[in-house]
Structure 1
Amino acid sequence: VDCLPPSSKVEEIPYNQTEAIINITVADIADYGCNNGVGVNKVEVYYAYSTDGENFGEWQLYAVNNSLITHPDGISDWHLTFTASQIGWYRFISIAYDCVGNVEDFVAYDAECYVNLSISISFGKPKYGEWISLTTPINITASNPSNIYYRIYNNKSWHPSPGSGAGNNGNFYIYTGNFTLGQHACRHGVCFIEFYGDGTTLMNCSIMLDTSPPLTFVSTPFFVPHPINIECSAYDEGSGISHVEFYYQYSYDNKSWSNWSFGNVDYIAPYQWNFSMDIGFYRICSIGVDNVENEEDIVAKDLLRVFTPDFNEDGIVNVQDLVILAVNFGISDAKYDIDGNGKADVSDASIILNYWT
């Protein structure tokens, strides 16, 4: 006659849990009675939940294993996973049944743990300090692999509009993967992001969005008879200046122009370019790039004319150079048509006089 109940227990679980999925092991599954009992044919696992660690709810059946008919005892441990649905305290107990209906007694509990489901937000690149760009990927991860929700406050309005989305009161987006602030039409300035996952508390963070490229300015003399140092002033109202790039277009005669070519890059203010080029006309462009990769469009900022007043290359500018220029009056060669009006004339001679030695 088998009149003794079987036994089992949920082994001790690490108390502090930060993941929703908890590994559980039911061990010491055994039956007793005459001739080692008739064998265990079922084990149940129950759990109870508490929000404060003191007052627990009713026991809830979580899992049943009815493939354990053995005789004599010596059943292998039962390994299973439990998915916590929210932050709080969880207690576990296992109840074994033998083949003639004997049931293990309910005791207080076998194991207990505290689940603090985590959720976090991170920002990819480009990012500089508290600043990101419209294209910076934003990632939200949670220890509970279920629904995640988020919303954004920017420029005095919520995205999505209250009541038009999902989650709590329809005020959130469902997170489906990395997103950007550009996808939500956010504007330059501070953005607040609220987010939560099933079973987690509501979290929030703020980030600065930089949508505007720097402004740069170049001012040079128009007539340049020798190498000069082109200096650029730069301003940025967001993440700050990373560097300034210089580009140029070239024309020998001020009529047909080349494509833009790279000239120089400077990472340290004042941003400069030691400019030394052949005779001709040059359109100069400065492009400011900020620390989250916003950059200006390529447009001409200034125009300069490189020429030599020393036509005979004797190291001085004097009457001999004026004679050479006068001989070429009326021709359109850009070497002598210094001001680019289409022909060499007295206006070019007046320019030469400014460099008399």
Structure 2
Amino acid sequence: MSFVGDTKDTNEATKIYDPLDPTVLRLLDPEFVEYYNSVLGTKIATHHIPLSEVRANPEKWSGSWCKDYTGSPGVKNFTIPSDDGYQVKCRSYNPDPARHGEGPFPVHINFHGGGFVFGDLTADAEFCMMLKDRLGIIVIDVDYRLCPEHRFGKNIGDSWAALKWVHEHASETNGLPDSISIGGISAGGQIACVLQHMARDARVPLKFAILSVPTTDFHTYFPTPDHHAPFHPLPSVARFAKAPSLPASRLAFFKSHVFPDEHRDFIEKEVPLMWRAPLHAPNFKELCDAFVITAECDPLVDEGEAYGRKMVEAGGMVIFKRYLGVPHPFMHMTKALAKARQYENDVCAALKMAHGL
């Protein structure tokens, strides 16, 4: 449910648009505080920008970590048909055969974050490149449809179509159909949670899920008009209402675009609650193993960990790690934060174990 406070446009490099709140500042890693005050805080967060402007100039408002590796060795663009015929854009990152052999290879499917409103195939490109180079696996990044242009549910349908296609067409990608993992950050983490359940029910085998700062109870946020004290049964939402990168005002922005009033009745009647809030899925048994990653200074920390606990209570295997002193999208800040670099090491170790590498 991120991201982009780290945009590339500013005319006032010394101005801090949203100063760090004292109640959160005392918890934050000094590395992040320095980065925020010198980079992140000097940019206008995208939820303060008209969505039409962001759509018209995506590069202008993207994070500094967003990259397009089209044309690089091993990077291929292709499309996958969704269930309604829509062609879902995907990008595969394929290992260098000189380093990793000819394959076939395990496959990891990635779903970007962005609150279901922002994000594309550039958002996690550095992460995808890192995984294929370090682990020698195929990484397939999925550009699912965004809200509000597309009603919530199309994003889940596109992602499920991608997972089914990768499993059924593994030979076309030089992938191993019995060694597939999934994962995502924030909204992408929610998609991965939902697909755990859908894959189990459809008997599509999954090795592992990387659930990074996932939204698992997004549908039940009720922000107040001032956006400072959202009601939620899990206390971290209110406790970190003024957290950097994902304050309550940003959560309210996302909810207004993902679950707008004009679509609410349709969504509540036609879209399963589990898709909207996987924390409330009816059955947590026999899900694939998972790595649940949370950030201490994130309003979503409680719901991510609550989802993992439900997996454990149902007999599942979960690795938990809470990264202290960092906010929601910390993992993108690898050039500034040691904990972001540790995140990459931890994810690599988990996927290496899961795929038997």
TM-score, normalisation: structure 2: 0.20
TM-score, normalisation: structure 1: 0.20
Q: Which has the higher strand share?
A: 1
Q: Which has the higher helix share?
A: 2
